[in-house]
Amino acid sequence: MKSVLLRGAVVALFLGAVAYPALAQDAADTIKIGVVAAESGAFVSAGHTLPAGVGLAVKEINDEGGIKVGDKTYKLELLKRDDRTDISTAIAATQELVRDEKVAAIFGSETHDFTLAMAKITQPAKVLHFAGNSTLAKVLTDSSVASGGEDHYLFQTEPQEFQRSGSTARGVLKLLEPLVGHPLKKSVLIVGNDATGQFLSSYYLAALKSEGQEVPDIIFYPPDTTDFSPFLTRAKSLKPDVVHFWYNGDSTLTALPQALELGVAPSYFLFGVDPGIWKEQGLSADVPVAMSCVPVCWGESSNPKAKAYFDAYFAAGAPKGVTSSVSLLYYDYVHFLAEAWEKAGSLDPDKTVEALKTLHHKGVVSDDLAFNATHQVTHATEVCAAAPGGDITCAMQEPPADAPKQ
C-alpha cells in the first residue's frame, strides 16, 4: 500500500510545481494593457501584427511621458500573450490577463471565434476589449452594447461591413473602369469558405449590386486551397468583367497567377493585398488589377501619415507581409483609448466607454476616428489599382451613408 501512496504523491507534486503563484505586485502608477494574438502556430502571419502595432503605440505613449488621468500620470505596461493558434490557450491567456494581471484593456485576437470566446471573459469583468474582426458586427447590436448589455466594453476597430464593402466596391469599379477601357457590368466573387469569408461576401455582394453590377455567382473555396484552377475556370465560364478575390491575402496571391494563366477575366480585384507586397514580390499582370488594404496600404498610400507609421512599424522589426497593415487596426486605438482615459479623467470602465463613444480621435487611418452607436468605427477605405505593367494609383473611398436595402 505504501508504494502506491508514494506514487500518487510524487505525480501531484509535479503538478503543484507548475502552479506558479500570481506575479509580483506591479509598480504604483502603471496601467496594464494586454494583447492576445497568434505569435506561433498557423495564424502567426496575421497574429504577429497585433503585438507589433500595440507595442509601437505603447512605446510612443511612454516615450512622451505616459498619460495624465485625473491628477496622476501613468505609464503603460504591455503584456503580450501568444495564443499558439489554439482556443484553449487564448482563453487561458485572457483569464490570466483579466483575473491575475487585472489589465485595464485587452487587444486581440486575430481569429474570429477566439475573440468571441474571449469576450465572454472580458465583458463580465468590465475589461475594455478592442478587436479588428469585422464579424463582430454579428454580436454588436444596440441592446448588447447598451450599459448592462453583454458587450458594453467590446469595440470593433473596423468599419461596419456595409460601409467598408460599399466604399470598396465603389472604389474598385471607379479605378478599374478607365484602365479596362469598357464599362464593367458583370462581377464574380471568389471567397474563402470560413467565418470571415461568409460574412464579408454577403455584404460585398449587396454593395456590388447597389453599384449596378450583375453578380451571377459567388464561388466559395475551402480555406486552405492551393490549386484554384477549377474554381477559376468556373468563373471564366461566366465571362465576368471583374473577378473579386476575398479576403485572405495569402490565398488571393496564390490564386492570381493561376487566374492570369487561365485568362479568366479582363480585370481583377484583390481584397487584403497590399501594393507593398505587389512591388516587394515583383508581381505583374497583363490586365488591370485593383487592390485594397485593411485599413490603409503600406506599399503605396495616398494617406500621408501612413508612410511615417509604417516606417516606424517595420523599423521595430516586424516583417513586411500581406497583413502588415492589420497592425493599424490596433495601433490607432491604443492612442484612442489613451485619449479617452485623459478625457474621462478616470480609469473607470464605464466612464471610459462614454468617453470612447463621444471622442473624435485624430489617428493615422483618418483624422476623424469615431465609434458609432454600436461600437464600430467609420472611416474611408483605401483602394489602389495597378495598370498593366506598372504604376499604381491609390485613392481613399468614402463609405456610403447607410446600408443598401437588404
- What's the CA angle centered on 116, arms 113 and 120, to 5 degrees? 140
Shortest separation between residue 195's beta carbon and other proteins, angstroms:
4
Determine if 237 is a binding residue for other proteins (CB under 8 A): yes
Q: How many CB atoms lie within 10 A of CB 347?
A: 16
Determine if 131 is a binding residue for other proteins (CB under 8 A): no
Interacting span for other proteins (CB under 8 A) from 24-32, 251-259, 380-388, 392-400:
251-259
Interacting span for other proteins (CB under 8 A) from 64-72, 180-188, 214-222, 360-368:
214-222
CB contact at 8 A, 334 and 58: yes
**Between 234 and 305, whose beta carbon lies closer to other proteins?**
234
Determine if 16 is a binding residue for other proteins (CB under 8 A): yes
Among 30, 62, 144, 229, binds other proteins (CB under 8 A): 229
Interacting span for other proteins (CB under 8 A) from 25-33, 133-141, 208-216, 287-295:
133-141
CB contact at 8 A, 219 and 235: yes
For residue 120, what are the contacts with CB-CB under 8 A and spacing of at least 6? none
Distance CA 77, CA 74 (A): 9
Distance CA 272, CA 253 (A): 10
Site for other proteins in 78-97 (CB under 8 A): 82, 84, 87-89, 91-93, 95-96
**Between 159 and 276, whose beta carbon lies closer to other proteins?**
276
Site for other proteins in 331-390 (CB under 8 A): none
Among 34, 35, 36, 48, binds other proteins (CB under 8 A): 48
Among 70, 178, 212, 319, binds other proteins (CB under 8 A): 319
Determine if 42 is a binding residue for other proteins (CB under 8 A): yes
Q: How many CB atoms lie within 10 A of CB 226?
A: 8
Shortest separation between residue 278's beta carbon and other proteins, angstroms:
12
Sheet containing 376-377: give its strands across. Answer: 67-69, 72-82, 30-37, 105-108, 128-131, 154-159, 376-377
**Between 270 and 380, whose beta carbon lies closer to other proteins?**
270
Widest CA span of the chain, in angstroms? 88
Distance CA 269, CA 278 (A): 13
Residue of 156, 85, 165, 153 lying closest to 120 (CA atoms): 153
Shortest separation between residue 323's beta carbon and other proteins, angstroms:
9
CB contact at 8 A, 50 and 110: yes
Determine if 117 is a binding residue for other proteins (CB under 8 A): yes
Determine if 193 is a binding residue for other proteins (CB under 8 A): yes
Site for other proteins in 264-303 (CB under 8 A): 281-282
CB contact at 8 A, 235 and 207: no
Determine if 328 is a binding residue for other proteins (CB under 8 A): no
Residue of 81, 111, 75, 116 lying closest to 96 (CA atoms): 81
